């Protein structure tokens, strides 16, 4: 059969018990078998009872439920071997103190799970047996007679009633049994080979009873089978969930045990953002050695990339890793070389750094017959040159810094506050197609331009930034959020589209980082707080299908449940904000939980896919889960999730940041490493393959953040510098 049994009536009470027998058949590790499910995903109420196979001979019982605030929670038992025999399961909800419910699960008379919780409203959805309501997570095995009680029944009471079950069933005998036990509401019994339910008294249950449909019984491999691509999208109905390990983190005796603990952390805590893990003191030395070795692997990845770039594309804008060639799509400004300078320095690759700086000094010019983005030129070229100069104090970089500054000034004029969006390098003429410029394009200037003013002594850079900041202070907002699209001519917003993804992301990032870099004041702090409060009210939602928090978009008054990989800068920026504003932030712990919950979502946007890589964006569907659209299914080697993991490590020292980063790094190595360097990946969920393209932010940001994340030693003093949106290093103004 394609799904479990629809019991057809609701069954959800403060006081109740459900008793049944189960017989588990072999399934791949990590498969969830749903026993009971009555969750209402629209109204966010109800419960689900499941068994999850975590390892051979290790099964855990899991109860998922909604609380009174409509938040999803999950509690799990310790592992137990439930295979190759019939097991009696008794699920009970009973009244506890302070208007709470005690949820418990007993297996063969042993209490495996017991927790006092705050449950929400009872679900009015029909109860499903053997799968979710939409047929997912089907029970692989057999289920025996099921008894439903409207009070908390004991194992002893249930056994007495089961002893009176008539065999074979007869209607008069069943009615008599119901009349003798007022709390017994109804029961399900086997009735012919076509039904899902079967008798636990059978001598050979697998031979004599009908099977409940199983989850796909594919053999686990390093790359799972691709999901079907239908209606121009992939559907990921469920995200990986693992039970917590048997021992607490303090009892982990090795780094390997700690990694297992972190990989199987409590889903409810991760989804709610309440997780916080402290590295056990006896393991600090071993953990440090482990991740320092992994940092060296990242350095080897940078060497591999740089060897390919040096051989096939040195001095050119971008490497083409499959054809082992290059392209100059940025006007031949050595974009990858400039964007990579500080990564080479931080990793101690001084020979490579010196050779690259010599190229900049001898050959770099901004005179190509090409039009470039003012925004990208500023964050990649200006930021890259300034960062390399601050790290190395190499005066050979100063002429290029001054010339790059002259290019930037071409975007401004005295008649308008906002800069042009494009600059033609050869003629130095600036333009703004259709008079439209995005919030991120003109709102991501302060770090680079103020530092340009400090390094060159030219105050025109600072003046340009201050004019833009003054315009934004006076501009109307929607609960602290700014529209994405503006008119360069009028300096006013021209749409009502609000998002923390592309076209807006780095503006909100720079509100925090500019304050840290020295642009402080009560007005700036208030604007940041208002923006975060508006974000929580307007943009944040929790997906009903999987319980994940995400940041969507608003167009006029319409909410769009789409989240980009670009938006995954947000958790790290929020954590950085709290590190500097914890005393003044409204409800700081709620904001901290929001940041960490979003970071878990970002991690699962990658770790839920077949490749382990994140797509460009996903859509969260309350009914279907995570959707990946056809034109968003590629991975561009973006750094945003890894960036936020770096800030989690820096601000909270949580080892799960490094563990998640290691998982993502392995996915990059597995899918994107090629003989000619590293390559973008065409399809994260289907039969993807490397593509002949790699942008400069891969060495400039992704590998840099991975190295800083894994390295125990603080190579960058975060009290003295800030990292720009392109991960370049700018000193804090004293």
Asked whether residue 150 is marked as a ligand-binding residue, the answer is no
- Annotated catalytic residue within 59, 317, 505, 643: 505
530 is catalytic: no
Q: Which residues pair with 52 in a beta bridge?
A: 32, 60
The contacts of residue 477 (CB under 8 Å, 6+ apart) are 530, 531, 534
Which residue bears the tokens 């109800």? 46
- Among 96, 27, 83, 34, smallest CA distance to 62 is for 34
Peptide bond into 168 cis (omega under 30): yes
Q: Considering Cα of 513, then 516, then 518, then 524, what sign does the dihedral take? A: positive
Beta strands in 593-708 (DSSP E): 617-621, 625-629, 673-674, 677-678
How far apart, in whole angstroms, are the C-alpha atoms of residue 669 and residue 5?
Answer: 44
Dihedral, CA atoms, 40, 41, 43, 47, nearest 10 degrees?
50
Q: Is 505 assigned a catalytic role? A: yes
Token representation of residue 459: 């105050």
Alpha carbons 151 and 16: distance in angstroms, whole number? 4
State how far the Cα of 33 lies from the Cα of 219, in Å rounded to an integer: 17
- The active-site residue out of 616, 643, 685, 695 is 616
Could you give the CA distance from residue 125 to residue 116 in angstroms, rounded to a whole number? 24
- The DSSP-derived string for 120-177 is -SPP-SPPEESS-TTS-S---EEE--EEEESS---HHHHHHHHHT--SS--HHHHHHH
Q: Kindly report the number of other CB atoms within 10 A of residue 620's CB atom.
A: 23
> Rounded CA gap, 252 and 125, in Å?
42
Q: Is 607 within 8 Å of 618 (Cβ atoms)?
A: no
Cα–Cα distance measured from residue 283 to residue 318, given in angstroms and rounded to the nearest whole number: 42
Residues 308 and 676: beta-carbon distance below 8 Å: yes
Q: What's 699's DSSP letter?
A: I
User: One of 328, 354, 376, 533 is an active-site residue; which one?
Assistant: 376
Residue 108 burial by Cβ neighbours in a 10 Å radius (0-12, 13-18, 19+)? middle
Phi-psi region of 637 (alpha: psi -120 to 50; beta: other; left: phi over 0): left
* Biggest CA pair distance of the chain: 99
Non-local (6+) Cβ contacts of 550 within 8 A are 540, 541, 542, 543, 561, 563, 598, 601, 620
Strand, helix or coil for residue 551: strand
Residue 347 and residue 390 in contact, taking contact as beta carbons nearer than 8 Å: no
Total number of residues shown for the chain: 734
Catalytic residues: 376, 505, 616, 640
Extract the annotated binding site for Ca(2+). 725
Extract the annotated binding site. 725
């Amino acid at each position: 059969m394609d799904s479990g049994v629809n019991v057809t009536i609701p069954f959800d009470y403060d006081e109740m018990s459900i008793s049944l027998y189960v017989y588990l058949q072999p399934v791949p590790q990590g498969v969830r078998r749903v026993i009971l499910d009555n969750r209402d995903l629209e109204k966010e109420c109800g419960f689900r009872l499941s068994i999850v196979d975590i390892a051979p001979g290790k099964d855990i019982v899991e109860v998922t439920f909604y609380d009174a605030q409509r938040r999803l929670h999950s509690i799990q038992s310790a592992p137990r071997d439930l295979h190759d025999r019939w097991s009696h399961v008794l699920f009970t909800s009973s009244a506890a103190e302070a208007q709470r419910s005690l949820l418990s699960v007993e297996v063969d008379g042993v209490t495996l799970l017991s927790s006092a919780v705050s449950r929400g409203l009872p679900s009015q959805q029909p109860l499903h047996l053997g799968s979710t309501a939409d047929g997912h997570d089907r029970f692989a095995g057999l289920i025996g007679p099921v008894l439903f009680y409207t009070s908390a029944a004991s194992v002893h009471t249930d056994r007495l009633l089961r002893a009176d079950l008539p065999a074979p069933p007869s209607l008069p005998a069943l009615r008599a049994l119901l009349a003798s036990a007022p709390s017994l509401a109804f029961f399900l019994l086997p009735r012919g080979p076509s039904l899902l339910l079967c008798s636990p008294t059978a001598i050979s249950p697998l031979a004599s009873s009908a099977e409940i449909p199983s989850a796909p019984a594919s053999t686990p491999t390093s790359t799972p089978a691709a999901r079907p691509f239908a209606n121009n999208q992939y559907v990921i109905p469920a995200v990986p969930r693992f039970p917590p390990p048997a021992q607490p983190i303090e009892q982990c005796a090795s780094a390997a045990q700690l990694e297992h603990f972190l990989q199987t952390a409590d889903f409810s805590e991760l989804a709610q953002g309440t997780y916080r893990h402290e590295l056990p003191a006896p393991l600090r030395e071993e953990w440090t050695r482990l991740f320092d070795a992994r940092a060296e692997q990242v350095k080897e990845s940078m060497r591999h990339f740089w060897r390919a770039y040096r051989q096939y594309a040195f001095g050119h804008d971008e490497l083409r890793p499959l054809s082992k060639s290059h392209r100059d799509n940025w006007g031949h400004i050595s974009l990858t070389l400039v964007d990579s300078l500080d990564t080479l320095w931080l990793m101690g690759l001084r020979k490579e750094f010196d050779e690259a700086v010599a190229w900049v000094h001898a050959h770099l010019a901004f005179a190509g017959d090409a039009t470039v983005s003012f925004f990208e030129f500023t964050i990649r070229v200006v930021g890259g040159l300034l960062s390399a100069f601050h790290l190395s104090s190499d005066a050979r970089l100063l002429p290029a810094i001054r010339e790059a500054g002259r290019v930037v000034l071409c975007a401004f004029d005295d008649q308008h506050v906002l800069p042009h969006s494009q600059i033609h390098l050869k003629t130095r003429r600036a333009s703004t197609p259709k008079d439209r410029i995005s919030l991120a394009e003109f709102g991501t200037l302060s770090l680079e331009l103020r530092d340009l003013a400090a390094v060159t002594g030219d105050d025109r850079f600072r003046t340009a930034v201050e004019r833009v900041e003054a315009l934004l202070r006076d501009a109307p907002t929607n609960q602290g959020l700014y529209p994405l699209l503006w008119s360069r001519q009028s300096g006013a917003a021209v749409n009502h589209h609000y998002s923390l993804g592309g076209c807006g992301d780095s503006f909100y990032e720079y509100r925090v980082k500019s304050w840290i870099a020295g642009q402080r004041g009560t007005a700036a702090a208030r604007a940041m707080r208002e923006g975060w409060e508006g974000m929580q009210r307007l943009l944040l939602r929790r997906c009903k299908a999987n319980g994940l928090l995400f940041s969507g978009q608003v167009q006029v008054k319409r909410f769009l449940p789409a989240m980009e990989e670009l938006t995954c800068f947000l958790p790290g920026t929020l954590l950085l904000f709290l590190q500097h504003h914890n005393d003044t932030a409204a409800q700081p712990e709620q904001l901290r939980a929001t940041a960490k919950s979003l970071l878990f979502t970002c991690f699962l946007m990658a770790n839920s896919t077949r490749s382990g890589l994140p797509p460009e964006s996903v859509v969260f569907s309350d009914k279907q889960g995570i959707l990946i659209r056809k034109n968003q299914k590629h991975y561009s080697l973006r750094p945003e999730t890894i960036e936020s993991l770096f800030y989690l490590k820096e601000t909270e020292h949580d080892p799960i940041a490094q563990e998640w980063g290691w998982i993502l790094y392995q996915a990059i190595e597995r899918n994107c490493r090629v003989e000619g360097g590293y390559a973008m990946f065409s399809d994260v969920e289907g039969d993807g393959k490397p593509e002949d393209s790699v942008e400069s932010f891969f060495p400039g940001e992704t590998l840099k953040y991975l190295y800083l994340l894994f390295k125990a030693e603080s190579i960058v003093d975060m009290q003295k510098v800030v990292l720009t949106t392109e991960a370049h290093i700018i000193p804090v103004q004293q």
